Structure 1
């Protein structure tokens, strides 16, 4: 029986909700952008700076995220949630652009710390059931996607200011952080005994107390010598652009090249979201088996190609659903690969992969330039080529891997 089945219900619930909390809280500044712009008179250029500051904050917070392999996950997860709360409170006050930039950087750092600490703890508890638990977490994250817009709708219907929505979000994240601080997180692997950390921050420092921050960071840098980490980063860099960016290009293609009305194009493109939801729901009951990464990449490549070259609204809608389902399977399998690659350094691997994958943001820029020069259909064909490249990368690695390591998340054998 996996540890997750014997863990306290409150702990498991809090860990599974982390992606939902992250999606909910990270949406709020974006959802308030129009109001921020009107109240402060900021320009679109300033908005770009705010979004860039979130990415900068994520990078600056990386040294803290690495510590989840060595220090209390309870403390680090709570700090992440409280950091989120402070960031949203600063956005709610919004006295100046400088404060907004600081709030955005804090949000980026808090997001990585919160999600990293909770998912590493979930991986420790889940064991062989990791894919199932990740599927549950991602399914709940979809609800978090809806909670942010719903909050703004409710606040607007009540006639209240957008600042109320951000303040409510800050309060919700503070309460989540307080909840996390009371839970018995599993301790880090290195230097930790079989007991859990115990509730509250006051006992959090005992696990792996001999590991200094300097040694944690040196260990993370040492992962740069691991070819597997670079492979995971390359795959993550390509795959990360098959979500929001693909959705945006798909809507543009359906309206511009297929001449669909914008509401119809958006509804068809929303099939990717429906497919992901269905995919996560199915994976909760039937976790992906061996070869899931390759099958999911091929499904995305084929469905993406169908959207690009086969006309018809119904065809595009069905292909979009298939694409979304492939995204769900690939994402859960890739998450498991990252978390299991080095189980004693899961947080460090996740952090290093997250940093190395950043150049992937240039992919939509390149595809956009292709669309400008050769049309939207060429851009969609290029997007279909991205999962095809992923399939090649996954297939090449599977051929080189020792037998028994082709299942999702299997740890490579030591070299």
Structure 2
């Protein structure tokens, strides 16, 4: 095995441009979500209203995911990505108008709230296509032997944007207000379109162009459910994210429990992503392929512990540290899961497999937000977070006991085979 090059993927110009594009989109999306969370809770003061934001996005994202995966595998990726960015731009501009006092001053609060939910719903439709498109597009920008390294850097950029988006949102709400914060989001989407224009169109890798929709979808689902490694990683991460969705309740912690205002809210929201980003930088040099299954189980178990500590804490720096460490362990989970997907997925099925993954893991973020909002409404905010962390621990322990094969998963040979490809 040749010496690992931690910068292998960065030696390809179009991949670097792709990273800029991904940064702009994730930054815009995460900043927008935070600004809308803050605005909605400020209007309603109802924990369930935060959960509904997630529900409004997850319904279209799940219902359209498989169909979107089929379309992505059948179509040219750059054109699809451009359409996704354009649609996001329209949505962010709509939210910009809805947060403009001069525009909505004569509107009833319910009208504004329902309009926000409607645009979030449309955002869910866009996300159903955006995730599979980006996952498939990445694999066309670098050789197969660089896939694991490209996945690590792509995930790292995602985390950088996830750090910057919430942090900037928290401060911008204070400095320039919700309205101009949304204007910044719209500007980021325009930058993403500019970056995309610098990447050439790529060939369609699917040998079954024109395949009937139902047959195509069936093939994608069968692949995931027949590949126990892929299914195990996706399912485990889905449940952890579903029950560990404490971040959805951060506006409540910031405003009512820790009482740290929008600046503290920005720090709390950014803390998990900071931890995950640091982890991903380290994994560019220290691979996690050996004993990957046990590392994934351990990371998600530690993540659950951190969520419980955060829920019980009433001290700002303890809460911040707990969220930071939750990000560290979540970063390990993301790297291992993305490596599994990149190594185990055939080129012509990347859109569909990514769509199934988004149904399981991506959408569980929003379902987790709804679960957290609902349980907070029913049993109180702190109890809801502790319950979620405890359920995460239960699922990890159960998986480790009943699935010794997954516990013993090792990706070393798979990585060697891909790194030796020319």
Task: Check 1:78–1:4 CA distance in 2 against 1; reply closer, same or farther (3 A cut).
Answer: farther
Cα distance change on mapping 1:340 and 1:93 into 2, 3 Å: same
Contact 1:232 1:353 in 2 (8 A): no
Structure 1 residues 104 and 347: alpha-carbon distance in aligned structure 2, compared to 1, 3 A threshold: same
The separation in 2 between residues aligned to 1:77 and 1:319, in whole angstroms, is 36
Q: Is the 8 A contact 1:61 1:110 kept in 2?
A: no
State the TM-score, normalized to the length of structure 1. Answer: 0.70
Structure 1 position 283, deviation (Å): 1.1
Matched with 2:295 is 295
Question: Does 2:133 align with 1:133?
Answer: no
Contact 2:57/2:120 (8 A) holds in 1: yes
SS of 1:183 mapped into structure 2: coil
> Cα 1:242–1:291, aligned 2, differ >3 Å: closer, same or farther?
farther
Q: What TM-score comes out, normalization by structure 2 length? A: 0.69
1:144 aligns with 2:161: yes
Q: Kindly tell me the number of residue pairs found equivalent between the two proteins.
A: 385
Give, in angstroms, the shift of residue 348 of structure 1: 0.8
Could you tell me whether the CA contact under 8 Å between 1:333 and 1:409 is conserved in 2? Answer: no
Q: 1:243 to 1:270 in 2, by over 3 A?
A: farther
2:358 aligns with 354
Deviation at 1:9, TM superposition (A): 0.9
Distance 2:23 2:226 in 1: 28
More displaced 10-residue stretch of structure 1: 9-18 or 75-84: 9-18
In the TM superposition, what is the alpha-carbon distance from 1:328 to its structure 2 partner? 0.9
Matched, 1:52 2:55: yes
Q: Which segment is superposed worse, 144-153 or 322-331?
A: 144-153
Report if aligned partners of 1:78, 1:177 keep a CA contact under 8 Å in 2: yes
Aligned alpha-carbon RMSD (Å) = 4.9
Q: What is the rounded CA distance, in whole Å, between the counterparts of 1:328 and 1:17 in structure 2?
A: 21
1:187 to 203, 206, 230: 203
The match for 1:399 is 405
Aligned residue in 1 for 2:419: none
Return closer, same or farther for 1:322/1:353 CA change in 2, 3 Å cut-off. same
Q: Which moved more, 1:365-374 or 1:336-345?
A: 365-374
Establish whether residue 103 from structure 1 lines up as the match of residue 119 from structure 2: yes
More off after superposition, 298-307 vs 136-145: 298-307
Contact 2:28 2:165 in 1 (8 A): yes
CA distance in 1, matches of 2:268, 2:53: 31
Does the Cα contact within 8 Å between 1:304 and 1:319 map onto a contact in 2?
A: no
Single out whichever of 85-94 and 112-121 deviates more from structure 2: 112-121
Q: Equivalent residue for 2:389?
A: 383
Gaps of 5+ in 2: 99-103, 105-110, 416-422
SS at match of 1:68: helix
- Alpha-carbon contact 2:51-2:370 (below 8 Å) kept: no
Q: Is the 8 A contact 1:37 1:43 kept in 2?
A: yes
Contact 1:370 1:378 in 2 (8 A): yes
Q: Work out whether residues 28 and 189 of structure 2, in 8 Å CA contact, stay in contact via their aligned partners in 1.
A: no
**Distance apart, 1:320 and its partner CA:** 6.1
**Cα separation, partners in 2 of 1:122 and 1:149, compared to 1, 3 Å:** same
1:288 is paired with a residue whose SS is: coil
Cα 1:362–1:84 change in 2 (3 A) is: closer
Cα displacement (A) at 1:291: 1.5
Instruction: Give the alignment of 1:211-360 within 5 angstroms.
Output: 211=211, 213=213, 215-223=215-223, 226=226, 228=228, 230-241=231-242, 244-245=245-246, 272-301=272-301, 305=305, 322-343=325-346, 344-356=348-360
Note closer, same or farther for the CA distance 1:295–1:322 as it changes in structure 2 (3 Å cut).
farther
With over 3 angstroms needed to count, the CA separation of the structure-2 counterparts of 1:329 and 1:4, relative to structure 1, is same
Describe the superposition over 1:107-141 as per-residue Cα deviations: whole angstroms up to 9, x where unpaired: 11222322321222224535344343233223322
- Provide closer, same or farther for how the CA distance between residues 398 and 367 of structure 1 changes in structure 2, counting only shifts above 3 A: farther
